[in-house]
Amino acid sequence: MILLYGADTAEKIKTEISEMLSELNGYIPTLGIVRIGSNPADISYEKGAIKKMESLSLNTKVFEFEENISSKDFLSEFKKINEDNEIDGILLFRPLPEHIDEKQVIEALYEKKDLDGISYKNIAKVFAGDESGFAPCTAKAVLKIIESNNIELEGKNVVVLGRSMVIGKPVAMLAIKKNATITICHSKTKNLKEVCKKADILIVAIGRAKMINDEYIGENAIVIDVGINFAEGKLCGDVDLENVKNAYMATPVPKGVGAVTTSVLAEHLVRAAIEKRMN
């Protein structure tokens, strides 16, 4: 089995970003990270994002808020960050605490600063096949891995396992834009193993540690594992890769999709800064 390491794709994105930066004549874009509370998964992703931005000489500013901030106060603070001309793009950690009106916050976010594709306008563009907006970074990272490894999507049978708005649905839309034939599965899908086994490319984003094995994977399938889980104190994906024999290619966890997501975030940040300067 060929392992598709995210670092190879991340390196290619780095080259693209360096070229894009030359359009900015020395201007250094700034990422605004907005976080309420200190969820360990958010902190871990934040550290990775800061490290990635530093490696590309991009700035990051973290806006951290107490868990008990009121919905009104948070919205007001969020609007200030959104208006701040020094912030070129925003990463907002979600889900927000239940007492915060998430819909109002998302509606306030400028689509041009919405680097992780959470605003309705950006999501609508992904569904319309319009590439001028920002798609959710993880969904885009999956496509980047596929493309950078010269895996053809046109006419391929792609099965997406998971239907969330951050991964499952947008990744399906990005793949259909590349002329793949798509099936989206979820927890109520019948005959899941049989459906998955028919995939040329199986994209797994369910958040179930090592659930996917050879019973779900057809011979010579390409498997992209988006899952990030902890089992027996170790980071693992949704695919039980150690015991998989059927796959022709597969992304490992760690060092797979996760290694590309922050690179896509950086690319989106630089694009946002370029577009801001053009307007």
Q: Which residues bind ligand NAP (CB under 6 A)?
A: 138, 161-164, 166-168, 185-188, 192, 205-208, 226-229, 257-258, 261
Q: Which is nearer to ligand NAP, 172 or 180 (CB)?
A: 172
CB of 16 to ligand NAP, least distance (A): 19
CB of 253 to ligand NAP, least distance (A): 8
Q: Which is nearer to ligand NAP, 21 or 251 (CB)?
A: 251
CB of 84 to ligand NAP, least distance (A): 26
The sheet carrying 249-250 orders its strands as: 2-3, 249-250, 222-225, 201-204, 157-161, 181-185
Decide: 170 and 128 in contact? Cβ < 8 Å.
no
Decide: 204 and 159 in contact? Cβ < 8 Å.
no
For residue 20, give Cα distances in angstroms to 16, 58, 93, 254.
6, 12, 26, 28
Q: Which is nearer to ligand NAP, 75 or 213 (CB)?
A: 213
Residue whose tokens read 């700035």? 59
Decide: 238 and 210 in contact? Cβ < 8 Å.
yes
CB of 30 to ligand NAP, least distance (A): 22
CB of 181 to ligand NAP, least distance (A): 20
Q: What is the 3 state secondary structure string of 208-260?
A: CCCCECCCCCCCCCEEEECCCEEECCEEECCECHHHCCCCCEECCCCCCCHHH
Q: Which is nearer to ligand NAP, 141 or 153 (CB)?
A: 141
Decide: 61 and 87 in contact? Cβ < 8 Å.
yes
Q: Which is nearer to ligand NAP, 109 or 253 (CB)?
A: 253
Q: Which is nearer to ligand NAP, 97 or 207 (CB)?
A: 207
CB of 50 to ligand NAP, least distance (A): 15
d(CA 5, CA 8): 6
d(CA 174, CA 140): 8
